[in-house]
Structure formats: C-alpha cells, structure tokens
Amino acid sequence: MSASGILGNLEPETILTWKELLIDLDFEYFRQSVVHICKTHVDFYPGTNIPALIRENASVFKSKDFAKKNTFKEKFEQYKLDAASPEEAKEFIDQAGFKLKEIPQATL
C-alpha cells in the first residue's frame, strides 16, 4: 500500500512535520496509540491535531505501562537486586572507619 493510501491526501510537508513531531515516541506506544485512535474515532474534523492526539494517547499507554512496572513487589525485587552484598557492606563500613562490634546479617 502506498503512503498516499495510508495518509490520504496529506501534503508531503505535512507528513514530514508529523514525522518530526512523532519521531521521539517509542514505537510500541506509538503503535498502541494509533490502533486505539483508529478503533475509537470514526471521524476527524479539520481542526483535529492528530499528532497531538497520538502523543496524548501514547503518554496514557506509557503511564499504564509504568504503573504496571512500579508495583511494590516489582520495586522490592529491584531493591534486592541493587542492594550491596554483606561483603560489600562490610568493606564500605571498614573504609568509612566505622567500628561495629558485630555486623548484622541481613535476612530476606
């Protein structure tokens, strides 16, 4: 299918402008946004700012994705991965000059 079939009767300058306005979007959020718009909008009016509509929907999908990835359980699992090992903690304590009678053992 040609670009004119997909983009209707848009001028080449308009297509290039839209590309500049949308190029920074993650492709998956862009795709989800376009699919959603196509499923929910029957008509577009002359004043409809389609690139802004795409960006707005993409940000909604990005927010939902971010919310899913940032549940307490996900954050806790990431904290466990990022935490220093007991050996690294002991080395830091020694380098910092702290004096501990006993180094507490972490239990997870």
- Whether 2 is in a domain gets the answer no
Task: Name every residue whose Cβ is closer than 8 Å to that of residue 32 and which is 6 or more positions away in sequence.
Answer: 57, 58, 61
- Whether 44 is in a domain gets the answer yes
- Whether 106 is in a domain gets the answer no
pLDDT for the residue numbered 75: 76
Q: What is the DSSP letter of 83?
A: S
> Model pTM greater than 0.85?
no
Domain of 88, in residue numbers:
9-97
Low-confidence ranges of the chain (pLDDT < 70): 1-8, 100-104, 106-108
- Whether 57 is in a domain gets the answer yes
- Whether 88 is in a domain gets the answer yes
- Whether 58 is in a domain gets the answer yes
- Whether 4 is in a domain gets the answer no
